[in-house]
Structure 1
Amino acid sequence: MSNNNYPRLHNATWPGIVGKGPDSEPVIPFDKMLEFTAAAEVDGVKFDGVDVGLLDPHVHLDGGAEEARKLAGKVGAYGLNIGSLVAPVWGTPAMGSKEERAGFVEVIRKTCEFAKQLEKEGVRSYGVIRIDSASSPESWSADPAGNTRLIAQTFREACDVAADYGEKLAAEGEICWGGMHSWRAMLETLEAVDRPNIGFQADMSHTFLYLLGYNAPQDRILPEDFKWEDREALTEGLKKLTAALRPWTIDFHVAQNDGTVFGSGSHDKTGRHCLATDPNGKLDIAHDAGFWLRDEKGELTKAVKHICWDGCMFPNEIMTQQKTWNDILAALIEVRKLHGWNA
């Protein structure tokens, strides 16, 4: 078991939904995602918990306290914890109409209520609520300054609601979200929110695309003529990226990326999640996680109590093999060996 070591090791459940559905492969049921997570084991170490997307058909947010108790029972039966929660804000864009923005804040209120019920049930004691702008980079680019102000205003209102519940909101750094699609745009949005309970969710795959300037060539960090064999330049790029966003980071996803974008189903193209063992992966996962988990002096920030693997848009054939989840757990264990601590 994982005993008293930090950070705790979590698996994500929403990859069973994201990129799936009628226009792609079938959704993988929540119970199956939970079973694979609970069954994973490497040298006696198992996952400590799961991060959960409050997304239909896995979880019905409008089910309220009853749905939260049901979820807590399922997860708790496996001896697992629940960490961060993904708020289903899509359809209520943060830079949309007054009604849409009010809808965004209402989703956050419902998510916070759900989170408090999970705490009452004894399955959640750490983690954040993940948000994004629910808006495309194309729509944002019509008025960058004005739309960033709208997103910040919506996020501020959401933060104020979350603060009443003792929750923190983490904005996901992903190239498919307007106002969050580059490292510089993300930083400007976070600074504009100006609330103590807003932070950044760093996903090693999604943030990797910030280096290459997808959807924002002007914010590219690596040189245009960069070659993948130039590890020194890649290291310097990662240092610049993390120096800007590490101070904001309150949620962390371990992941691999091969330097390309990918989308499936209705999901826009974003940083491709690769298997931990992918020979085309450009990251040294355990080593490069340290750019996010340690400060410029090399000291552990201890800003997160758990780390999570997010493997969205893997084919179902891959996701329904137990070996996949054992390999992922092994990667998380290696991250903790280099950057963990004992309670």
Structure 2
Amino acid sequence: MNDNNFPKLHNATWPGLVGKGENSEPPISFDDMLNMTAAAEVDGVKFDGIDIGLMPPHFDVDTMTDDDIKRLADKVASKNLNIGSMVAPIWGGPAMGSKDDRAMFVNMVRRSCEIGQRLRELGVRPYGVIRIDSASSPQEWEKDPVGNSKLIVETFQQACDVAADFGERLAAEGEICWGGMHSWRVMVETLEAVDRQNMGFQADMAHTLLYLMGYNHPEDRILPENFDWNDRATFTEALKTLTRALRPWTIDFHVAQNDGTVFGSGSHDKTGRHCQATDPNGKLDIVTDAGLWLRDENGELTKAFKHICWDGCMFPNAVMTNQQTWNDILATMIKVRQRHGWHQQEEVAAGTV
């Protein structure tokens, strides 16, 4: 065990919601996700915090009062945890939808930023971003790529301008199920067109793996068809191509595993399958491959964000309510920090990432 204390290690609470309900298993409560995170421990090391999804039934941003936000801050702090990045509940208004849709999208970003700012003031959120996606499907985007991308960019620009008023940065999630974000090349084009200093990319190792394979956008495939997963050299070069394009934009990062397939449950469309940290079918060497996101092309640490998060959505509830699951995840996160972390004084300026 070394003395690296950054990046901070977070668990996500939204896996208790994503893919749950609606012909699937029931959601897992926020309190249960929080308690399992707080209980995880490996050789005396514990999680430093949580990233949260501001979505029902965990939260309702339309009805959250200042007292509710204070209670949330107190509850998390009582577990010796911080709050980092937060997911804005923008799915009621697609970013490439009607004028009213896009106004709803921006309003959900505004409300999320208000909550995020208040949590910073309360001292429980010293770092992190607001995460968004396009709330639009690749299939709808493909009907008019130019026009739909223009609408997404305009909506993201408006959202960025709102976020800037609260000192927040927005991270666009790289996931194959979101239109205008379903290909690594299209994702870069979207980020470049938004052209806002507080706009960045949120890389999830499980989702970005699917970029290599061209799911939902075969013309941008990087790995050859019928790729042999035993060919580690070719895989590494493909991953270097991907990270070279997206790493400069990355301001939020999820450690995760994927077996090279897609999966969806509940109302969630098919996307990169999150696997357990110990899954023998996982295609990623999690610790090594995380370094391609956390280090630049010269092997130097970028230190582009103060925390990293584990994301494991759409696991069965029996897996998610097993404490050993979270201990195994924490053990993997610790290895990532040992290999690609650093040590610095604990004082972190509020609102930094």
Per the alignment, residue 53 of structure 2 pairs with 53
1:314 paired to 2:327:
no
What's the TM-score, normalizing by structure 2?
Answer: 0.96
Q: Which amino acid aligns with 1:327?
A: D
User: Sequence identity of aligned pairs in percent?
Assistant: 71
- Name the SS of the counterpart of 2:253 in structure 1: strand
Per the alignment, residue 69 of structure 1 pairs with 70
Per the alignment, residue 279 of structure 1 pairs with 280
Q: Is the 8 A contact 1:64 1:113 kept in 2?
A: no
- Name the SS of the counterpart of 1:11 in structure 2: strand
- Name the SS of the counterpart of 1:187 in structure 2: helix
Q: Is the 8 A contact 2:243 2:293 kept in 1?
A: yes
Per the alignment, residue 337 of structure 1 pairs with 338
- In 2, Cα distance between equivalents of 1:271 and 1:335: 21
Q: Is the 8 A contact 1:2 1:46 kept in 2?
A: no
Alignment length, in residue pairs?
A: 343
Per the alignment, residue 18 of structure 2 pairs with 18
- In 2, Cα distance between equivalents of 1:201 and 1:22: 27
Pairwise CA distance, 1:3:
7.6
- The gaps in structure 2 that reach 5 residues or longer are 345-353
- The gaps in structure 1 that reach 5 residues or longer are none
- Name the SS of the counterpart of 1:235 in structure 2: helix
Per the alignment, residue 263 of structure 1 pairs with 264
The alpha-carbon distance between structure 1 residues 13 and 302, as it changes in their structure 2 partners (threshold 3 A), is same
- Name the SS of the counterpart of 2:334 in structure 1: helix
- In 1, Cα distance between equivalents of 2:10 and 2:339: 17
Per the alignment, residue 103 of structure 1 pairs with 104
- In 2, Cα distance between equivalents of 1:22 and 1:153: 32
- Equivalences for residues 1-343 of structure 1 within 5 A: 5-62=5-62, 63-343=64-344
- In 2, Cα distance between equivalents of 1:66 and 1:180: 36
What's the TM-score, normalizing by structure 1?
Answer: 0.98
The alpha-carbon distance between structure 1 residues 234 and 3, as it changes in their structure 2 partners (threshold 3 A), is closer
- In 1, Cα distance between equivalents of 2:65 and 2:211: 37
- In 1, Cα distance between equivalents of 2:55 and 2:73: 15
Q: Is the 8 A contact 2:207 2:272 kept in 1?
A: yes
- In 2, Cα distance between equivalents of 1:118 and 1:336: 26
Q: Is the 8 A contact 1:61 1:67 kept in 2?
A: no
| Alignment RMSD | 1.2
Q: Is the 8 A contact 2:4 2:341 kept in 1?
A: no
Q: Is the 8 A contact 1:60 1:67 kept in 2?
A: no
Per the alignment, residue 351 of structure 2 pairs with none
Deviates more, 1:11-20 or 1:221-230: 221-230
- Name the SS of the counterpart of 1:240 in structure 2: helix
Q: Which amino acid aligns with 2:57?
A: P
